[in-house]
Amino acid sequence: MTKPELPDSEKVTQVVPERKQLPLQGLYLGQKLMKVSEKVGRTLVIANFLTDKNGVIAKADEHHNLQVPLELKNASDWRLFQELMAQADVIISGGAYLKRVSVLGSRAEDILSQFEPGGEFEKLGDWRLSAGYQKRSPDLAIVTRSLDLKFPEKVMRSGRRIIIFTTDATANSDQARALSTLGVIVIGSGEAGVDGNRMIDYLSNGKGYRVIMMATGPSVLNLLLEAKRLDLFYITEAQLEIPFDDPSTVQTILPKGEKVNGLKEFSVTHQYLQENVVAEDGSHISQLFLRYDRKSVFQS
């Protein structure tokens, strides 16, 4: 008995390294990042962004708050983002995200409890446990200058380790000591801001994490790029251009209009095409899923 054919919206065409059709679900789980870490003999640091063709990831709304444009957001990208996150030992986020989550009625996407029972991606939590991970959800690292943070109760109850990276002075404050009594680890990682090398060294050498995923904005991405500590750069590129008149009303992955494909230390090793994708505004788009590998890690 033959398997029923998947709808076009549930499959992708792999273009690189070889052309073939694959199901969308499980596409990034199939990358087996833990085994990649074992193969290269060290911790992997990864990031993932959804963009338009010009690297735009967010646009200011009527209240001047930066939001992911609805014409970009779609369930397929969100699914693959979760598949990457499910393979991570620890997620790097930011203090600003925690503040958005704590606001009543916040529309912030859930990257804290989606793998827990009753969460949107509970089955990926099951997958983690069956794959040998100790917890349903990755541990959590927060990059922030301010310790005026509130962690959701369900995160504190989940049993995961929480680490805050901040300035050296802030790490020696009364607020830091108060957080430590709650079991939160506060690490000073720089004088003026968090140093990317110190942060990754602590997570990899200090805590033994094998796959680290950055799941926050361009400022932390820039820390990793400057420190040359990002290994795999996943991009979902919607094949459209977000219109804008004033560059200050949009946020891009890289500063000054730089493009990811212009980063000479990275090269595309995987490319997938998905067509007829329904975006959150109801429009139909096509998009590319791209994986950029740091050459010095994978081509040495």
pLDDT in tens, 253-266: 998 879 999 999 99
Summarised one tens digit per residue, pLDDT across range 151-206 is 888 888 888 999 999 999 999 999 999 999 999 999 999 999 999 999 999 999 99
Report how far residue 92's alpha carbon sits from residue 68's, in angstroms, rounded to the nearest whole number.
19
Kindly give, in sequence order, each residue whose CB lies less than 8 Å from that of residue 240, ignoring residues fewer than 6 positions away: 52, 53, 71, 72, 285
Query: Do residues 103 and 153 lie in contact, with contact meaning Cβ atoms separated by under 8 Å?
Result: no
Q: SS3 for 247?
A: helix
Q: Exposed, middle or buried, 174 (CB in 10 Å: 0-12/13-18/19+)?
A: exposed
Kindly give, in sequence order, each residue whose CB lies less than 8 Å from that of residue 208, ignoring residues fewer than 6 positions away: none
Q: Residue 120: is its pLDDT beyond 80?
A: yes
CA distance readout (Å), 234 to 21, 88, 130, 179, 247? 19, 14, 25, 33, 24
Helix 122-130 and helix 75-86: axis angle, to 10°? 30
- Predicted confidence at residue 294, as pLDDT, reads 97
- Predicted confidence at residue 300, as pLDDT, reads 61
Instruction: List residues bridging with 163 in a β-sheet.
Output: 141, 185
What percentage of the chain has pLDDT greater than the value 90? 82
Report how far residue 78's alpha carbon sits from residue 41's, in angstroms, rounded to the nearest whole number.
29
Residue 271's H or E segment, with its range, is strand 266-278
Summarised one tens digit per residue, pLDDT across range 192-216 is 999 999 999 999 999 999 999 999 9
- Predicted confidence at residue 283, as pLDDT, reads 97
CA distance readout (Å), 101 to 47, 149, 165? 21, 11, 19
Give the start-to-end residue ranges of the domains of the chain: 7-15+42-74+221-300
Query: Do residues 184 and 158 lie in contact, with contact meaning Cβ atoms separated by under 8 Å?
Result: no
